[in-house]
Amino acid sequence: MDLLEGLFLFVSAANLITFGGLLLDFARHLRKSGVDHDMAAIMLLLADKSRLVQKAFFTHSGVAQTRNIHGEQQMELDTYSDAVFMKAMEKSRLVKTVASEEQDDIVEIKKAKGSYGVTLDPLDGSSLIKTNLAVGTIAGFFNEGDVMEKGSRMDGAMFILYGPITSLVYTAKKGVHEFVLNPKGKFVLKREGIQIPGGKIYCPGGLRSEWAEPHRSFIEDLEGQGYKLRFSGGFVPDFQQILNYGGLFTYPALSTAPQGKLRLVFEANPMALIAEQAGGAGTNGVQNLHGIKPESLSQRTPLYLGGKREIELARKHLALH
């Protein structure tokens, strides 16, 4: 038995869901849930290609000689994963427009027959790979094709987490569901109808010395209530902690980045939809993220994501100043 099989068996023993004694794979779950045919097909496509991205961790771990639209040094895996997902969506002809964090502009797919728009962060947190920490892929789906719409118009979202086990979490506005990749290369159901529990952890981004006073006051309030700090530096794995244990992920406005650091289109909006569907919320501290119409692909936002109790507490602290 290899390590992957051992890890999968460990996860299986810890309550994978079965139907009629059989594991339910991602494709059958999408059909069973009545997810729109084209969106389901695009989700399955990204899930399938994520296996190529996972394998490329061994072969594409260097630094690319390019920078993305945000001025950030690209890793080989950034450009490789972007190319893998983009090529697959172009060939599918189901996707009309794609906004990728690694592309300068929105990509219009000329031969598309479908109407979907997809927002994509091909490999969020790629700089963490050097230290063997978890990273992820984030995607959002718009049935009408306009990737610059408010998040409230988003029809679905998903993320794929590349860790000791590769897992996938998705919503099509019919709850939040988690799958794990088995040794045979299939994503099988682990948890269905996920709700953010009432735990006490917080994942805070940004240097404490650069926090504004209202945010500092909020964090001190959480700490006074016994919240424990858990922060890996990766948005996807840290948000997965919130889905499992409850609490809050936050990357606030900073003195050096008053608009925040995370991107509204690629990162914040898709994850906020998952949070909302799991009984939580996503805000910029005061306003619901999904009420904000993006002005540009590179637009950044402060981010507070997690349980409703924590989000409301953040709003109270930030609204007082």
Q: For residue range 230-276, what is the model confidence (pLDDT) as tens digits?
A: 999 999 999 999 999 999 999 999 999 999 999 999 999 999 999 99
Same domain assignment for residues 182 and 290: no
- Percent with pLDDT over 90 in the chain: 82
pLDDT for the residue 7:
44
Band (21; pLDDT cuts 50, 70, 90): very low
Q: For residue range 24-39, what is the model confidence (pLDDT) as tens digits?
A: 899 999 999 999 999 9
Give yes or no for residue 95 having a pLDDT over 60.
yes
Which residues make Cβ contacts (< 8 Å) with residue 82, sequence separation at least 6? 100, 102, 103, 120, 122, 123
Band (15; pLDDT cuts 50, 70, 90): low
Number of other residues whose CB lies within 10 A of the CB of residue 250: 28
Range of the domain at 132: 3-191
Band (17; pLDDT cuts 50, 70, 90): low
Average pLDDT score, the chain:
91
Give CA–CA dist 188/200, Å, rounded: 29
DSSP string computed for 281-295: EEESSSSBGGGPPPS
Q: What is the CATH number of the domain that holds 287?
A: 3.40.190.80
Average pLDDT over residues 175-202: 97
pLDDT for the residue 58:
84
Among residues 191, 222, 255, the one where a domain terminates is 191
Give CA–CA dist 103/55, Å, rounded: 23
Same domain assignment for residues 160 and 213: no
Give yes or no for residue 72 having a pLDDT over 80.
no
Of the listed ranges 1-5, 97-101, 176-180, the one predicted with least confidence:
1-5
pLDDT for the residue 171:
99
Same domain assignment for residues 25 and 101: yes
Number of structural domains in the chain = 2
Distances (CA, A) of 284 to 12, 194, 254, 318: 37, 23, 13, 10
Name which of 135, 132, 126, 117 is nearest 80 in CA terms. 126
Single-letter residue type at 105 = D
Band (129; pLDDT cuts 50, 70, 90): confident
Whether 221 is covered by a domain: the verdict is yes
Same domain assignment for residues 180 and 138: yes
CA dihedral sign of residues 273, 276, 280, 283: positive
Whether 196 is covered by a domain: the verdict is no
pLDDT for the residue 22:
55
Give CA–CA dist 280/123, Å, rounded: 24
Taking the alpha carbons at both ends of the chain, their separation in whole angstroms is 58
Give CA–CA dist 16/168, Å, rounded: 14
Give CA–CA dist 191/211, Å, rounded: 36
Average pLDDT over residues 162-182: 97
Distances (CA, A) of 82 to 66, 69, 75, 127, 134: 13, 13, 11, 15, 18
Give yes or no for residue 216 having a pLDDT over 90.
yes
pLDDT for the residue 69:
55
Whether 63 is covered by a domain: the verdict is yes
Whether 245 is covered by a domain: the verdict is yes
Band (65; pLDDT cuts 50, 70, 90): very low
Same domain assignment for residues 152 and 22: yes
* Phi-psi map region of 55: left, alpha, beta (phi>0 left; psi -120 to 50 alpha): alpha
Which residues make Cβ contacts (< 8 Å) with residue 224, sequence separation at least 6? none
Average pLDDT over residues 115-135: 93
Name which of 270, 271, 236, 257 is nearest 301 in CA terms. 257
pLDDT for the residue 270:
99
pLDDT for the residue 75:
73
Average pLDDT over residues 31-55: 97
Name which of 276, 315, 319, 283 is nearest 302 in CA terms. 283
Residue 171 or residue 24, greater confidence = 171
pLDDT for the residue 64:
47
Single-letter residue type at 164 = P
Band (3; pLDDT cuts 50, 70, 90): very low
Among residues 191, 214, 238, the one where a domain terminates is 191
Q: Is 228 helix (H, G, I), strand (E, B) or coil?
A: strand
Same domain assignment for residues 226 and 146: no
Same domain assignment for residues 124 and 157: yes
Is residue 140 within 8 Å of 148, Cβ to Cβ? no
